Chains A and B, each alone.
Chain A
């Protein structure tokens, strides 16, 4: 039904290449989130799927049909825009009906669909108002409603929450999740906010500079980032990435030395590494504690404490000037300005090679 397949999609504006050979298979009924920093090509990719833009090369299929050259209207998709793009001169009802009228749907059915969408999204009270008379959250619902009435094969959402305030964003996020649950329609969701990505997605596609860096379920991306970029992008506060050198490597374990007296042995397949290679050790701030054991630790001076109540964010710096962030549970004001040992579990450390790729777990 709503399966979308992208094969070797390229998009270039003159000599400037925006997308490089994108291959992606979006399952029917899945909520797929495209995430990445601004300018990574995620919105361009969404516009290509929508048919608002044409790829310079590659093939795009929706529900098994090649739609690469098919116009946006014929693809049976609906899109929610970042600015909502509601027609300002039409009432909410006319906004919802516009697409259905263009598809020459009988009036009775249009009314029925609008009534149902209005009930589902709770916008029935202001069907006769204009978008200018609505609040941001209400406009957002209307924009979603305009997509819902179309009964599309798939929804495309382009940063739909970025114009809402923080509180509304959280509640609308939950509503979108509920809507997806209910409609069970394929959704492609673009965002630069990794929290949205983590909470909403069935699968996340992390993009950078027109390339897909990693595709996977949210927790897989969190637990096993494929490279340094994904490691740094997913998770907040971002992962501490400590540059180091390989001291010893075998097919079952790798030992790395790094700043702050780091001397770490992890159970990883180091058969491609040799002593003296550059490597990066990644440790999530939440995986760190303060203690005084020597094993698997980094010595650093705490420069700033942010007490959030249930947890404390400690910013620290090693003697080499490497900045680190640790999230400590509880209220640890005592750590301020102290030189401490930051401990972590070697099993929860991530190892990346000189190219920034993840060094896989040892085959055991």
Chain B
């Protein structure tokens, strides 16, 4: 701990503050707020009730009106601090609200109803996490189905991506053939073509081969990634050719060289690509939205958009489910970031 403290309080100016010390702190704290702020805001907001989400000015923490059971009423009533006409204040439960007039009762004496202008009452608030935002989509919507579809798409697409990309990378890094660099350039060149340009032709291809409205139609067009081929090729270039020569002397077939020598040795780069692929496929929205039209095939990201209807947007569900969909990606980054940085540095990819 003392070393952490020493590290944090270390200053260029020695005892005093050099202007760069101030600048660095401001810069880092500012960066933290810019990067981390929205995520924190999203997570906290996902615990807010719809009423509170619509409230202005917004609050950081999720609050809700305190409620009590009052004799004679079936549902719990919200508590308010009321300024009575005589100027005294009192905590009362609101029975109903008609226009700008609220009808309140004293919880101690539920028989008598007092009518007050809504401007004269303030809700009594307590911090409360609206966990029903999370539980309800699981109970009443097809969230589990979306989750299943998303997991299937992500896992299968990642496996196929790893297999095909590593094969292409192996050929492009370890075989000498005419036009090798042209092929590599073509593959890397496709990085310059954005999905929005490909959307229509890709759609006609998928539809022509009968993969429309199927999860395979989501998976197959995404598995050949130029980034993956390039990343793996750069890594495989660092595997010494002598190992392959040795394997050839050892009676290994080309497939065995790939499967038993190249793949295990390229594991760090494969891990990086696997992480990338999981994040890409998990977060995919546009392409699944185009391909899938039946609701039971929706992936999470597409499913989330169904909470935003034409007339009303169920923000509390959207926020909560966005948090849920973020969890796997966050976990991947927390536990595997070591591989990501090592792999990116190792392959010279930025």
Contacts and interface: CB of A to CB of B under 8 A. Distances in A.
Interface of A: 47, 50-52, 71-73, 77-79, 81-83, 85-89, 98-99, 102-103, 146, 150
A72 B240 contact: no
A179 B64 CA distance: 85
B240 A99 contact: no
Contact of A83 (B242, B250, B261): B242
A88 to B, nearest CB: 7
Interface in B234-292: 240, 242-243, 245-253, 256, 260-261, 264-265, 267
A308 B239 CA distance: 44
Contacts of A81: 242, 245-246
Contact of B240 (A50, A77, A85): A85
A224 to B, nearest CB: 37
The 6 closest A-B pairs by CB, nearest first: A99-B250, A102-B251, A85-B246, A85-B242, A73-B251, A89-B264
Contacts of A87: 243, 246-247, 261
Contacts of B261: 87
Contacts of B252: 73, 98-99, 102
Contacts of B249: 50, 52, 72-73, 77-79, 99
B243 A85 contact: yes
A72 B244 CA distance: 12
B249 to A, nearest CB: 5
B241 to A, nearest CB: 9
Nearest to B242: A85
Contacts of A146: 246, 250
A266 B291 CA distance: 94
Contacts of B256: 102
Contacts of B260: 98
Contacts of B246: 79, 81, 85-87, 146
A72 B251 CA distance: 8
Contacts of A50: 245, 249
Task: Tell me the dominant secondary structure on chain A's binding face.
Answer: loop
Contacts of A85: 240, 242-243, 245-246
A16 to B, nearest CB: 15
Contacts of A73: 248-252
19 contacts: A47-B245, A72-B249, A73-B248, A73-B250, A77-B249, A83-B240, A85-B242, A85-B243, A86-B246, A87-B243, A87-B246, A98-B260, A99-B249, A99-B252, A102-B251, A102-B252, A146-B246, A146-B250, A150-B250
A98 B264 contact: no
Nearest to A98: B250
Contacts of A51: 248
A102 B250 contact: yes
A83 B249 CA distance: 15
Contacts of B253: 102
Looking at B246, B247, B256, the one whose CB has the most chain A CB atoms below 10 A away is: B246
A340 B44 CA distance: 96
Looking at B242, B249, B252, B265, the one whose CB has the most chain A CB atoms below 10 A away is: B249
Looking at B247, B248, B251, the one whose CB has the most chain A CB atoms below 10 A away is: B251
A98 B264 CA distance: 14
Contacts of B265: 88-89
Contacts of A99: 249-252
A79 B246 CA distance: 7
Contacts of A82: 242
B247 A52 contact: no
Interface in B137-186: none
A72 B261 CA distance: 17
A98 B247 contact: yes
Looking at A50, A85, A89, A103, the one whose CB has the most chain B CB atoms below 10 A away is: A85
A77 B264 CA distance: 26
Interface in B289-328: none
Contacts of A102: 250-253, 256
B59 to A, nearest CB: 55
A79 B251 CA distance: 12
B197 to A, nearest CB: 40
A52 B248 contact: yes
Given A52-B245, A98-B250, A99-B250, 18 more contacts: A52-B248, A71-B248, A72-B245, A73-B250, A73-B251, A77-B249, A78-B249, A79-B245, A79-B246, A81-B242, A81-B246, A83-B240, A85-B243, A86-B246, A87-B247, A98-B247, A99-B252, A102-B253
A87 B248 CA distance: 12
B200 to A, nearest CB: 45
B316 to A, nearest CB: 50
Contact of A72 (B242, B248, B264): B248
Contacts of A72: 245, 248-249
A303 to B, nearest CB: 44
A102 B254 CA distance: 12
B180 to A, nearest CB: 16
Contacts of A89: 264-265, 267
Contacts of B264: 89
B253 to A, nearest CB: 8
B235 to A, nearest CB: 14
Contacts of A78: 249
A51 B247 CA distance: 12
Contacts of A77: 249
A85 B242 CA distance: 6
A150 B248 CA distance: 13
Looking at B250, B256, B260, B261, the one whose CB has the most chain A CB atoms below 10 A away is: B250
Nearest to A105: B251
Contacts of A88: 265
Contacts of B250: 73, 98-99, 102, 146, 150
